[in-house]
Amino acid sequence: MADLMPMVHAERRSLAEFLDTVPPEKWAAPTWCDKWNVQELVAHLTAAGNITAPHFFAGFLRSGFSFDRFVDGDLRHYAGGSPADVKTRFDAIIDSNRKPPGPAYVALGEVMVHGEDIRRALDAEGSHPAEHLTTLAELYKSTGAPLRAKKRLVGLRLVATDVDWSTGAGEEVRGPCMSLIMAMVGRAGALADCEGPGVATLRGRC
């Protein structure tokens, strides 16, 4: 497998450039990640770029072995202050090689999906290199909990219309690769620019 960290760094840099265009009042806006607004979601990505294994396991223990409670508590350290403060903290981890413990796809998926959670909530979309899209799509398609892409894709064939990627067999869902990736992990809104007989089925599983 290719080294994913250069992709992560590039995706963080692209998101940072987009965030430079977001006015301060929009940092309190909701995102496609339902529980967090823009400022909180950027703080979450910052926390992920600062994490170490000892910090993670100690925090996981303190949270009563609740991953969601740990993640939400961890981001609060980086969410305080003004949008400019939060953006400065995010800029500091752009080239960090730290990533949450777990499979190789975690860091790349976090910045690409959450980056789109922010952009699409603000009526924008990112431009992602084909290699990043096909790499993440391949890594995501067989995931179990908490992403559950494998279960959502049963009986469906996904075909990207902007890059050379497809997977599965059955009713077809065609669309931009990033939209397919978002739908894989439960973002029903991403299917708005997709088509095919399998769209309704996939939407019902999101």
CA dihedral 174, 179, 182, 183 (to 10 degrees): -30
pLDDT 10s digits, 131-181: 999 999 999 999 998 899 999 999 999 999 999 999 999 999 999 999 999
| DSSP element (H, E) containing 85 | helix 83-91
Question: Which DSSP category does 24 fall into?
Answer: G
pLDDT 10s digits, 46-87: 998 987 555 555 544 565 545 566 566 667 789 999 999 999
Question: Which DSSP category does 37 fall into?
Answer: B
Strands (E), 53-96: none
139, 149 contact by CB (below 8 A): no
| Residue 33 CA: distances (Å) to CA of 68, 109, 165, 206 | 13, 13, 26, 13
Nearest Cα to 46, choosing from 103, 88, 3?
88
- The position carrying tokens 């992602």 is 128
Residue 54, C-beta contacts closer than 8 angstroms, at least 6 positions apart: none
Beta bridge partners of 174: 159, 195
pLDDT (0 to 100) of residue 9 = 96
